[in-house]
Chain A
Amino acid sequence: MELVFNIFINGIFYSSILFLMSAGLQIIFGVLNIINFGHAAAYMLGLYICYGIIGLLPADYPALLWMAPIGAAILVGLLGLLFERGILRFMYKRDHVFQILVTFGIVLMVDDIIRFYWGGYSIGVPPLIDSMIEYGNIIYPVYNLIIIGAAAGLAFALWFLFRKTDIGRVIRATSLDEEMTEAMGISVMRVKAFTFLFGSAIAGLAGGLMLPVTGGWPGVGMEYLILSFVVIAMAGLGSVNGALVTALIIGMVNSLGVQYFPKLELAFVFILMALILSIKPSGLFGTHKS
């Protein structure tokens, strides 16, 4: 029973991390049609800005610590907007290679800025809440449950945004046909800018929330970006629902793999990806032909 619970909850937790990291990436690709390596920089900035805010907050009021990841998300979103307006919008018509070079370049720049400002060492903070749930031999940190809750909340919020609000409909319309959306009197440029802000903020939030779990170091974003690309490749480029389902699949496969075939834990995920892409090259939920 204890083992089954652990395998299940660990799979869900890992899925949550993957979804938090890949959701913004999917949204940005869906609307801007850009493979945004810069997402790694947004994640990294979220993590370090959260660390900086925690350092500024009074230690006597632990409840205030929750402001840190939210503050990080807002700041990273605004920085993302600045990047989109200042640089990225000039790349929309360019080849994907240029886009990758520019977005990868921002990762290197942010990496250097972080090292300059915070130093090259790894950083870490204790969980924002250190309570545990204890049931028999099972001990599980409440903070991990909060991350699971945050991922679930984000999935619901994205569903609500895209399916139930006008803004969501406009974003979906833009992703389907930019010219038609423009003809309807909607500024596609604004939609793209808002989407990039939103996607970056999600990455910033993910970084801030993950700081107490994983710590950070310059370059940390690239570690997670690779996993995020696995998620979106399997899901199909641009599909947020697909990212959720794929993250759940990868999380559970990883949890089971580590338990029963620890020497092959990483292989399982990539075998699964190869299998899915060989059967359905556009991914499980993908419609893009490229």
Chain B
Amino acid sequence: MKKESGFSRRDAMKLMGLGTLAGGLYLTGAQREALAADAPKAPFKLAVVAFSTGPATSYGYPGHEMMELLVNHYNQNGGLLGRKLELSKDDEGPVAKVVETFKRLTQQDKVDAILGVASSGNALAAAPIAEESKTIFINTLARTHKVTWQNPDDPTKFRKYVFKAVNDTIAHAASAALACAKFFPGAKVAHVHPDYAYGHEIHDIFDTVLKKVDPKAETVAELWPKLFTPDYSPHIAKILSTKPTVVFNSFWGADSTRFADQCIQRGVAKHSKLMGDHGEFYSTEKRPLPKELIGHPPFPVEGLPTAPDPNKWPLNKFYYDMYYQAHQNATPAGAAFTGAGFLALVAAVERAAAVTGSWPSNDQIAAAFPGLAVAHQLGWSTYRSDGKASTPKWAGLYKEQKPYNFGIDQIYHIPMEEVCAPPGEDPLEWIKKW
């Protein structure tokens, strides 16, 4: 029986059947040995492109770190089906740099697969380059819902070589609205979002969904500080004057912790619940979650160091420990997301190899994604016909949980079919039909 508070042991066992390493479902031991014996001598070339400089480093750079760990781990254990992995790492930078990097990686370096890209604008610019060169691109960090579409205005035609490892902005914001309605019915919500496309989209979707699932909820403030604002005092004054139940924010990186710190200092956390990615980014800064935020809701996320429960989901413990041993820190979201994307690639290679009986081509690997089921640190994902992974989200309230920086209490496991538009539908239009 599936429990609302998570997933049942039976679920866990079933999914663990997918293999402690992704793709285990698709090949027997004998098949692996045979494939390894005939594996091409040339390495399988991987690239990770994610911010390693600037304020977005907290989100992007963990992807570099996780890929390095995973590639080393696989190479020390005989490679991927007998083929060595070769990793190159690039800083993401602005859109012109990403375009240049993707052209170099696909045309000059001829990599087999690229993972990463945190900015939605960058991902949309990079996707056509990967598609044109038939290079697999797994977008592991950006939340744009259009990256797998052939045409940004047409949700019915999909790219063949571009995949998305995390849920999109729509599912992300809708999950937050569901969690808000569940934990704080009739909430007075103060919105504080960075003043760019992501922040506005999160606000609009959250607002739309919350009005439908909790008509008594109301918006009492809408604030739009620019990205990397040093001081939120004026915004906090506005928040204090509107006396909200929930302060919903979509800050990330240093913005997230800075906003939370300043809210705590000004007494906001005493009277209102801060809903945001705070625990995640305090961990990245190697700071414990402030005690003032215990009982406050995190922005629902695909997984956390304590969710799925590492005692019941060994993959969470395995990759957490791997990252912790290398960096003496909890696995940041950027690392776990990128790891999930990499394991999806591994699973696709093995699934394709199981069908072809030999090391698959890039075309065959790409064709193996739709319908792919993959277990990873964050839980499990299924890849849909539109190339997007659907990964369940975890909501709840922050609690203390040693030795981790925080845990999640009253876990609310959000089924993705409730918040993800079906393939072929524009999620923004779909959400309006709720």
A19 neighbours in B (Cβ, 8 Å): none
A13 adjacent to B231 (CB under 8 Å): yes
- Interface residue total, chain B, C-beta cutoff 8 A: 38
Question: Within residues 121 to 153 of chain A, which ones have a CB less than 8 A from any CB in chain B?
Answer: 121-124, 126-127, 130, 132, 134, 137, 139-141, 143-144
Is chain A's interface secondary structure helix, strand, loop, or mixed overall?
A: helix
B179 to chain A, nearest CB (A): 25
Bound: A259/B221 CA distance, A: 10
Q: Are B233 and A14 in contact (CB under 8 A)?
A: yes
Q: List 25 A-B contacts (CB under 8 A).
A: A2-B240, A7-B237, A9-B233, A17-B231, A115-B52, A120-B52, A120-B58, A120-B61, A122-B254, A126-B261, A132-B265, A134-B267, A139-B266, A139-B267, A144-B265, A213-B231, A213-B261, A214-B254, A214-B258, A215-B258, A217-B57, A217-B254, A218-B54, A220-B254, A223-B55
Q: Which residue numbers of A lie inside 8 Å of B, CB to CB?
A: 2-3, 6-7, 9-11, 13-14, 17, 111, 115, 120-124, 126-127, 130, 132, 134, 137, 139-141, 143-144, 210, 212-220, 223-224, 227, 254-255, 257-259, 262-263, 265-266
Residues of B within 8 A of A (CB): 52-55, 57-58, 61, 195, 221-226, 228, 230-231, 233-238, 240-241, 253-254, 257-258, 261-262, 265-267, 281, 284-285, 287
Chain B: CB-nearest residue to A214: B230
CB closest residue in chain A, given B52: A120
A contact residues around B262 at 8 Å (CB): 213
Contact yes or no, B267 A17, CB < 8 A: no
Question: Cα distance A6–B234 when bound, in Å?
Answer: 8
Given contacts A3-B237, A132-B267, A213-B231, contact A124 B258 (CB under 8 A): yes
A17's partner among B55, B195, B230, B235 (CB-CB below 8 A) is B230
CA distance A111 to B414 in the complex (A): 41
Q: How far is the CB of A288 from chain B (nearest CB, A)?
A: 28
CB-defined contacts of B235 to chain A, threshold 8 Å: 258, 262
Select B54's contact among A213, A216, A217, beta carbons within 8 Å: A217
Shortest distance in angstroms between B379's beta carbon and chain A's nearest beta carbon?
A: 25
Q: State the CA gap A231–B261 with chains docked (Å).
A: 26
Alpha-carbon distance A258/B265, docked complex (angstroms): 19
B238 and A258 within 8 A (CB) = yes
Q: Which residue of A lies closest to B62 (CB)?
A: A121
Give the chain B neighbours of A123 by CB distance below 8 A: 285
Note all chain A residues with C-beta closer than 8 A to B265: 127, 130, 132, 141, 143-144
- Do A217 and B58 have beta carbons less than 8 Å apart? yes
The residue in chain B whose Cβ has the minimal distance to the Cβ of A141 is B265
User: Given A122-B257, A220-B55, are A6 and B223 neighbors across the interface (CB < 8 Å)?
Assistant: no
Task: Please give the distance in Å from B197's CB to the nearest CB on chain A.
Answer: 15
Measured between beta carbons, the chain A residues less than 8 angstroms from B226 are 266
